Structure 1
Amino acid sequence: MAKLLCIPLILATSIAFADDDDDKGFGQAGILSKTNRGEIPEISLSSGMPLLENGDTITLKSGTYYELEITADGSQELALAGARFFRAIWVDEFVVEGIEIRPYGIDSMEFDEAGEAELSFVAIKPGSYRFGVPGSDLQTVTITIE
C-alpha cells in the first residue's frame, strides 16, 4: 500500500519543480531554445510587387530557429513555391489564420484571398534556394543557408 502512495507524491513533486525550472529557462534546450532564434524579414504577397521591401535575398544560419511571417493582400491569387528550400529546413509548424499545422513536408502554398500565415522552422542544409511565385522573376527571393 505504501508503494502506491509514493507514486502520486513523486509525480506531484516532479510537476511542481518542472514549473520552477521553466521560469529559469531550463524548460527548452538546444535548437528550440529561446536563445537560438534568428530574425527573418516578413514576406508580402501582392500582385506585381516584390516579396521583400529591401532586396531579394535572405541569409539564414544553419541550426537556428526562425519564424517567417507571410501576408497576402488578396489582390491576386498567388502561390509560393520552393520545394528545395522546404527540403533544406525542419518545419516545426505552419500556422494559417490561427490553425496550427505540423506537416511532414511542404512543397508550396497558395493564397486565394487576403490572409496571414507563419512558418516556424529550423534552417538545416547549407545552400542557396529559390523561393517565390512560380514563373515570376520579380516575386522571387533567394534564401541562403550558411
Structure 2
Amino acid sequence: MLKPMIAMGLALCLALPAAAQDADDDDDLPAGLLAGPNKRDLPEIILSVGEPLGEPWVLKSGGYYEVEITSDGSGEIALAGAAFLRAIWIDEIVIEGLEIRPLGLDSLEFDEAGTMEIGFVAIKPGSYELAVPNGGETQRLQIVIE
C-alpha cells in the first residue's frame, strides 16, 4: 500500500514542473494586479493657492491607479480626503525616489514645491472627494469608485 502511494506522489511531483512551465509560457496573462500593464495613470493634481484641482475621476473597484500630486510652492497646501484614502489600498508613495508603504493616510501636506506619486488600488465603491481645507468649491476633486 505504501509503495503505490509513494509512486503516485513521485509521479505528481515530476509532472508539476512541466505544468508550471506551460503556464509561464503564456505571455498574454499579466503577472498580477500590480503589474505594469494593469496600471492606469490618472491626471496630475496641481496644488496651487486658489486654483482648481481638476476634473472628476471615475474609478473601477479593483483597478490599480497612479497619480502624481505636485505643489507649485505658492503656499503651504494640504490635501484632505480621509474617506477616500480609506476606500483605497495604497501600494506606495514615492517622493524624490524614496518609497513609502503606509498602512493608511488621513491627509497630505506640501510645505514647499515638490511632487509625489501615489500608486493605489480602488476598493470601496462610493462617492468621495479630495479637497484643500478651506479652499472653496473649486479646490475639490470629486471621485467616484464604481
Identity of aligned residues (%): 57
Aligned to 1:71: 70
Of 35, 38, 41, 2:37 maps to 35
**How far, CA to CA, are the matches of 1:60 and 1:26 in structure 2?**
22
Give yes or no for the alignment of 1:140 onto 2:145.
Answer: no
Provide the rounded CA distance (Å) in 2 between the counterparts of 1:114 and 1:87: 26
TM-score (norm 2): 0.77
Task: Give the C-alpha shift of residue 71 in structure 1.
Answer: 0.7
**Count of aligned pairs between the two proteins:** 125
In structure 2, the gaps of 5 or more residues are: 1-16
Equivalences for 1:11-26 in 2 at 5 Å?
A: 24=27
Larger Rg: 2
Instruction: Return the alpha-carbon distance in structure 1 between the equivalents of residues 98 and 41 of structure 2.
Output: 23
1:25 deviation in Å? 6.8
- The structure-2 alpha-carbon separation of the partners of 1:41 and 1:27, relative to structure 1 and needing over 3 Å to count, comes to closer
SS state of the match for residue 32, structure 1? Answer: coil
Give the C-alpha shift of residue 37 in structure 1: 2.1
- CA deviations on 1:42-75 (whole Å, 9 max, x unpaired) are 10001110112xx3x1111110100011011000
- SS of 1:49's equivalent in the other structure is coil
Partner residue, 1:82: 81
Match of 1:38, as an amino acid? R
Distance of 1:108 and 1:97 partners within structure 2: 19
RMSD: 2.3
Alpha-carbon deviations, 1:72-94, whole Å to 9, x = none? 10001100010000110000001
Which consecutive residues of structure 1, in runs of 5 or more, have no partner in the other structure? 1-13
Query: 1:132: how far off?
Result: 1.5
Cα distance in 2 for residues equivalent to 1:36 and 1:27? 7
